[in-house]
Amino acid sequence: MITISSSDIIKNPSYIMKPEDIIFVKDAKGHAIRSVVLPYSLYEKVQEKIEDELYLFKNAKALSKEAYDDFLEIETVVESDENEAR
């Protein structure tokens, strides 16, 4: 794993165009890591997990326990037993 600054990308664009390792990109002023660059072959292996995490991250408020409790107050949830369906 490599840590570079955002100004390093300008000097050497191959860091993000053809990454050979996981690269952490920190901002030049705050020195905090802001981005991660993955080689595409690695991304293909973890793509589904990343997409699942992004979904949870983007919808955290809607998927919270409080939102679920509010949903149950509004909606009637019907659960069927498999034996009754037969």
pLDDT per position as a tens digit, 42-70: 999 999 999 988 888 888 778 788 887 88
Phi-psi region of 18 (alpha: psi -120 to 50; beta: other; left: phi over 0): beta
Q: Is the pLDDT of residue 81 over 70?
A: no
Q: For residue 80, what pLDDT band results from cuts at 50, 70 and 90?
A: low
Q: Is the pLDDT of residue 86 over 60?
A: no
Nearest to 3 by CA among 46, 35, 44: 35
pLDDT per position as a tens digit, 13-32: 888 888 889 999 998 787 89
Residue 37: how many other CB atoms lie within 10 Å: 17
d(Cα 58, Cα 62) in Å, to the nearest integer?
9
User: Could you tell me the residue ranges of all domains in the chain?
Assistant: 1-37, 40-75
CA 1 to chain centre: 19
Q: Is the pLDDT of residue 83 over 70?
A: no
